[in-house]
Structure 1
Amino acid sequence: MLLIPDNTMTKYIFFSGKGGVGKTSMACATAIHYALAGKKTLIVTTDPASNLADVFEQEIGHRVTPIKGVGARHAVPVQNAPVQLFAMEIDPDEATREYKESIIGPYREVMPDDVIASIEENLSGACTTEMASFDRFIDFMGTNEYDVVVFDTAPTGHTIRLLELPVDWSRHIEESAEGSGQTCLGPVQSIQGSKEKYDRAISILRDPAETNFIFVMRPEDLSLYETVRAAGELGSIGINTGEIIINGIYPEEACGVDFFRKKYLAQQDVIKEADKLIDSPKRYMFLRDNEVKGIEALTNISRELFDSAEARKCNSAEVKKTPPLNSPLTKGGYRGVTNPEFQTPHFDINQLFLPQNGTKALFFTGKGGVGKTTVSCVTALRMADKGTRTLLVTTDPAAHIGEVFGKKVGTEPAEISKNLYAVMIDQETAFREYKEKVLNDARGKYSEDMLSAMEEELNSPCIEEMAAFEKFAQFIESKDYDLLVFDTAPTGHTLRLLDLPFDYARQMEIMADVSSGSSVTGNITKERFGNIIDILRDSSSTVFTLVLYPESTPIEESYRAMIDLKKAGVETQLVIANMVLPEEVCTNDFFINRRNMQIKYLGEINKKFKLPLAIYPLMEEEIKGIKLLRAAHIEVKPRYGPRVENRMKKVLFVCIENSCRSQIAEAFAKIYGKDIIEPYSSGSRPSGIVNPKAIESMKEIGCDMTTHTSKSLSDIPDIEYDYVITMGCGDECPFVKAKHREDWGIPDPKEMDAEGFRKVREMIEEKVKEFVQAMENE
């Protein structure tokens, strides 16, 4: 039987599961299968930290893009055969701009400017971003343009939230229409047309003849636990699970060493348990000795996935006993300092993690499935064992820290061991508490009509996100603990969480009651958000750590996260490579190949991130319980090839006024050129201010230029620069001593509208990235 029989094929196929289980690979392979079968197929990712482009090895982005090299199979080759496979990565920022314009656009020619400004203010709230991405996703559920639409969704907890939204928003629009006629996104009439679309989406999602929902899981206890829980939650809103793919099974023939034999037997136990707990068809996919990237590899996966014989047998190569490779990895980490790249001073992880003066916050983030929760639990326990009063907080809606500790963890801090407490932020509980608190505070201060209006606003689905953030903010501000350890959701959703104080700071200004200074959102104020932003940016009190697995996709996703954090003024201070194979247990071709791949990527991690690298080896047993958490060990290696200051290239970006182009280039150079270039900017006739439109354009992507100043040549060092880059000002550009000169020919955006500024900003960003890459290769 095929995964989805051709004779009853559903139009919409959803893939979800715990992070890191391989759902993107399975979704891509499925899309390729149908494209090769002659079906016009679209694959859409709803994950804000999408890696479709990494897997397909081509640029995709926020547009429907044809995937090269995938067309229908024909008995006889057909020239110029039509492309059958298309892909799109929904970008939250682009979706937000499109969504706002879809609402505002029809009114621009008929409404006065003050009304348009009012609508724009209503749409400036943080919930608009969630609504916009959701609306774009729904668009693909009403099209007849494709035979098959495959949705590669975010990790489970966020997918549940996504699929609940059409129900929540349809109800909220209906209730608001009967009440005040207002929603948090503005008047009901401005979004009334969306209700029919959402009702149609609900119908499609609940109809197994149109939609197949597939969970991908690993044969591990925690993955099974999350799959069972998520399937139950979907069932509660009328969506049934179609099939289960159990991915990453160890080939029995490769598991001769006791270390892997134990892991193989543990996996088999989980597979048997899955059969008991989940009454759905299942497919079985074996672990491969290389990573899945590119059309050829995905096509091989699709054949295995859709060939029932192949999907039920071990297809590993004949196992041969071979001596261990001469490699720098050992069970505890890197052996010695035989590699000169690691001959650098000792790095003290305790100094980084332990608080010095006041409360310290540690954030662990990364791609789903890389082991963030386990690493967070190991770290929190270790710091608590050192006598530090520690609170572990999970912001992941699919949290399982209770399962890792083997103790119940709820919405109030619970003692795990001496000095260690843990708590989870549950969005529904936070929402109930938040709503009750706001209404209780308002009673006695406002009329019954006002209270009814406030309650209606508080029933908006986007308030749930605000309530969860309020809970997060309370912990960030807490002084009850010496150390706060945050086990965050997968990368894209963590970046969204950290964007919220910036978004809400502006929204609170709009929502504030001018006469009383109070707000529907209770105690949240712009000043408070400013304090939270300051805490997140203070590297002495807050440490951001990226957890990754040494493979291409997690590395690329983590690097993008590091850049996005830097744009917001937040510096990453540590990288952890998790589940690194110990050398002594890799004694056959299968695991030697996997280990070789990891070693290659460990080198790339060092070169790309230029940060201290901590290595967590793969453990023989799944890490659960205090005893195993204490047994987990870590090896920290200092920063890769650190560049001393006099080796950094001094680069000057110049134009005439030093208000737009050169300022933007300097900002991007600081982001992408860390430890490589030392950037400056100036102008021959500085305007005295940085163009507000430039500041606003950079703010859209999370980069704060409010501290930049317009500088003359006398305000910068009088030296010979390694590079002077003129932005396109021709003969009017000032002359400055330099070893090398370039002119980028960037148009002046001073008189352009916001969209023009964005295009110039993107042009400068690409030029800076290319320049930094060239410097790295020197």
Structure 2
Amino acid sequence: MASFEDDIDVPDPSLMNVVEQDSLKWIFVGGKGGVGKTTTSCCLSIQLAKKRNKVLIVSTDPAHNLSDAFCQKFGRDPMLVDGFDNLYVMEIDANADMDKIQGEMSAAAGDDEQSVLQSLMGDLTSSIPGIDEAMSFSELMKQVQTMDYDTIVFDTAPTGHTLRLLSFPTIMEKALGKIMDLKDKFGGMLSSMSGLMGGGAGTGPNGESPTDMMLGKLEETREIINKVNTMFQDPTVTTFVCVCIPEFLSIFETERLVQELSKFGIDSHNVVINQVLFPEKDAEELAEWFEEEKGKLSKEAREICSKMMARKKMQDKYIGQCFDLYGDDFHIVLQPLLDHEVRGVEKLTDFSETLVNPVDLEVD
């Protein structure tokens, strides 16, 4: 056994590097479902609030958990977390955002052409998966860019949704191409329909057809997403914290996530491994203790310890794989499995300390 802290080339097992990087504007926290992304997002934000003037946590996961984590109801408008004067939370409803977008365009078009716009949007969402999420995300980013926060932490949806977020620029190009094709094929017919409906009474405020209105909205969305994407690829502004647990499927998905982030040019150099049994000890140390003590234990206690030892051995194997994969370049933080839920400001604040003040760890 060799302590990785003895190796000066191995990054510290802490997220203090994120907390102390003052230039960071966007911090994404993501990984497989059920690995503790929300808890990590909340804990990291609490530590950031100690160093920043104003911090915002935004949930982009349709299954919002921030309200449950803080034991406080949040909504689509930023709300101050109880006990803080500089930490805010928003929970975004993508479906509501899409309803708002469609409502705004329909209102601008007038009653006569609302059905045409709804048909166009329905055709887009069915033929181009992710277009609704892309448009909703652009509305979110347009909103948060105008807000006065030093750092915004995104508690993201599971990995598949997160990776789709990275492909939004490509999705928007497909959507624009689709609308252009429709305009080329049916533009004349739509103009004739508008004339029959009253000399253009059903068109937009500047006389646009439904396809022109949709094109305008998509162009606006593309501009926002491309601008945001440029910022996402700047490591001084954006970073991604990967969260996992020491099990095969989670470790495998984290590796895929890291590769995809690299492909899209997004900085990622921190991995948080949650639910670790006794992170300060390894399976061999525990096995030695068990051999010495098992004669004093009841049959039930021996069975419980044996299962715990098997789980610890499995975890050590996958933690070791993480260090093999990322140890030279990534800050790998091991978060202990606790005997209670981490809910409420007090428990989250206490647990947040383990992100920046890790236990003394040893790895094979």
- 2:219 alignment counterpart: 192
> Secondary structure, in 3 states, of the residue corresponding to 2:167?
helix
- Structure 2 residue runs of 5 or longer lacking an equivalent are 1-11, 126-130, 186-209, 291-304
d(CA) in 2 for partners of 1:87 and 1:5?
Answer: 18
Quote the Cα distance in structure 1 between the aligned partners of 2:117 and 2:252. 44
> What is the 5 A alignment of 1:685-724?
none
Q: Could you tell me whether the CA contact under 8 Å between 1:55 and 1:293 is conserved in 2?
A: yes
Q: Is the 8 A contact 1:29 1:298 kept in 2?
A: yes
Work out whether residues 167 and 199 of structure 1, in 8 Å CA contact, stay in contact via their aligned partners in 2. Answer: no
Question: Which residue in the other structure is 2:347 paired with?
Answer: 297
Q: What is the DSSP-based 3-state SS (H/G/I as helix, E as strand, rest coil) of the residue aligned with 1:198?
A: helix
Is 1:133 matched with 2:136? Answer: yes
Matches of 1:302 and 1:182, distance apart in 2: 56
Post-superposition offset of 1:285: 1.1
Tell me the distance in 1 between the aligned counterparts of 2:359 and 2:340: 18
Q: Cα 1:160–1:67, aligned 2, differ >3 Å: closer, same or farther? A: same
| 1:89 partner letter | E
Asked if residue 64 in structure 1 is aligned to residue 78 in structure 2, the reply is yes
Secondary structure at the aligned position of 2:82 is classed as coil
Matches of 1:182 and 1:101, distance apart in 2: 25
CA gap 1:297/1:258 in 2 versus in 1, 3 angstroms: same
Structure 1 residues 99-118: aligned runs within 5 Å: 99-105=101-107, 107=108, 111-118=109-116
The match for 1:156 is: 159
SS of structure 2 residue aligned to 1:123: helix
SS at 2:136's partner residue?
helix
For residues 604-629 of structure 1, the C-alpha deviation after alignment (integer angstroms, 9 at most, x for no partner) is xxxxxxxxxxxxxxxxxxxxxxxxxx
* Cα displacement (A) at 1:124: 4.7
Within-5 A mapping of 1:16-35 = 16-35=30-49
CA RMSD of aligned residues (A): 2.7
Letter in 1 for 2:121: L
Answer yes or no: is the 8 Å Cα contact 1:283–1:311 preserved in 2: no
Q: Is the 8 A contact 2:163 2:257 kept in 1?
A: yes
Q: How has the CA–CA distance of structure 1 residues 294 and 182 changed in structure 2, closer, same or farther, with 3 Å as cutoff? A: farther
Partner of 2:7: none
Q: Deviations over 1:585-643 (max 9, x none)?
A: xxxxxxxxxxxxxxxxxxxxxxxxxxxxxxxxxxxxxxxxxxxxxxxxxxxxxxxxxxx
TM superposition score normalised by structure 2: 0.73
Rounded to whole Å, the distance in 2 between the matches of 1:250 and 1:103 is: 53
Change (3 A) 1:180 1:120: closer
Question: Is this contact kept in 2: 1:160–1:233, CA < 8 A?
Answer: yes
> Distance in 1 between the 2:117 and 2:354 partners?
52
Closer, same or farther: CA 205–175 of 1 in aligned 2, 3 Å: same
Matched AA of 2:24: T
Amino acid at match of 1:119: L
Alignment match of 2:336 (pick from 283, 286, 291): 286
Spell out, residue by residue over 1:21-40, the C-alpha distance to the aligned partner (whole angstroms, 9 max, x if none): 11110001111112233430
- Asked if structure 1 preserves the Cα contact closer than 8 Å seen for 2:124 and 2:175, the reply is no
Q: Confirm whether residue 210 of structure 1 aligns to residue 237 of structure 2.
A: yes
Q: Distance in 1 between matches of 2:22 and 2:77?
A: 29
- State whether residues 60 and 157 of structure 2, in contact with CA within 8 Å, keep that contact through their aligned partners in structure 1: yes
**Amino acid in the other structure paired with 2:243:** V
Matched, 1:87 2:89: yes
Distance of 2:274 and 2:334 partners within structure 1? 6
Deviations for 1:648-674, whole angstroms, at most 9, x for unmatched residues? xxxxxxxxxxxxxxxxxxxxxxxxxxx
Structure 2 residue 32 is the aligned partner of structure 1 residue 14: no
Give per-residue Cα distances to partners, 1:701-725, cap 9 Å, x unaligned.
xxxxxxxxxxxxxxxxxxxxxxxxx
Q: 2:58 matched to 1:44?
A: yes
Partner SS state of residue 55, structure 1: helix
AA paired with 2:139?
R
Matches of 1:30 and 1:259 in 2, distance apart? 32
> Structure 1 residues 237 and 7, CA, compared in 2 at 3 Å: closer, same or farther?
closer
TM-score (normalised: structure 1): 0.35
Report the structure, 1 or 2, having the larger helix content. Answer: 2
Output aligned runs, 1:278-427, within 5 Å: 278=326, 279-307=329-357, 310-313=358-361
Aligned with 2:271: secondary structure? strand
Offset from partner CA, 1:721-759 (integer Å, 9 cap, x none): xxxxxxxxxxxxxxxxxxxxxxxxxxxxxxxxxxxxxxx
Partner SS for 1:290? coil
Report the CA distance between 1:181 and its aligned residue.
4.7
Cα distance in 2 between the residues matched to 1:89 and 1:118: 31
- Is the Cα–Cα contact under 8 Å of residues 74 and 89 in structure 2 kept in the other structure? yes
Distance in 2, Cα, partners of 1:290 & 1:253: 22
- Structure 1 distance, partners of 2:229, 2:167, is 9
Tell me by how many angstroms 1:46 deviates: 0.9
**Pair 311,215 (structure 1): closer, same or farther in 2 beyond 3 Å:** farther
Give 1:235's match in structure 2, choosing from 238, 252, 262: 262
Structure 1 gaps of 5+ residues are 71-82, 315-778
After superposition, the Cα gap between the structure-2 partners of 1:144 and 1:205, relative to the gap in structure 1 and judged at 3 Å, is: same
Q: Does 1:123 align with 2:121?
A: yes
**Gap change, CA 1:291 and 1:253, over 3 Å in 2:** farther
Q: Which amino acid letter does the alignment assign opposite residue 97 of structure 2?
A: A
Which residue is 2:251 aligned to?
A: 224
Using the alignment, how far apart are the partners of 1:311 and 1:168 within structure 2?
44
Contact 1:292 1:298 in 2 (8 A): yes
Of 285, 309, 322, the residue aligned with 1:274 is: 322
| CA shift for structure 1 position 90 | 1.1
Give a deviation string over 1:113-137, Cα, whole Å, max 9, x none.
3124422443356826434432334
CA contact (8 A) 2:235 2:267 kept: yes
Q: CA–CA distance in 2 between the matches of 1:135 and 1:146?
A: 18
| 1:157–1:230 Cα contact (<8 Å) kept | no
Structure 2 residue matching 1:215: 3-state secondary structure: strand
C-alpha spacing 1:28/1:126, structure 2 compared with 1 (3 Å): farther
Asked if 2 retains the 8 angstrom alpha-carbon contact of 1:141 and 1:201, the reply is no
Does structure 1 conserve the Cα–Cα contact (< 8 Å) formed by 2:20 and 2:51?
A: no
Structure 1 residues 142, 311: closer, same or farther in 2, change over 3 A?
farther
Matching residue of 2:308: 260
One-letter code of the match for 2:162?
Answer: T
* 1:179 CA displacement: 5.3
In structure 2, distance between residues paired with 1:9 and 1:93: 32
Contact 2:44 2:352 in 1 (8 A): yes
Change (3 A) 1:8 1:167: farther
* CA deviation map 1:182-218 (0-9, x unaligned): 89x9431233222210111111121111101010111
How much has 1:176 moved relative to structure 2? 5.3
Shift of 1:288: 1.0
1:96: which partner in 2? 98
Show the 5 A alignment for 1:598-617: none
One-letter amino acid matched to 2:238? T
Alignment of 1:456-605 (within 5 A): none
Q: 8 Å contact 2:52–2:151 — kept in the other structure?
A: no
1:59 deviates by: 0.6
Q: Alignment identity in percent?
A: 31
CA 1:45–1:165 in structure 2 vs 1: closer, same or farther (change >3 Å)?
same
How far apart, CA to CA, are the structure 2 residues paired with 1:39 and 1:5? 13
- Which residue identity does 1:304 align to in structure 2? T
Q: Distance in 1 between matches of 2:184 and 2:69?
A: 43
**Which of 142, 145, 148 is the matching residue for 2:148?**
145
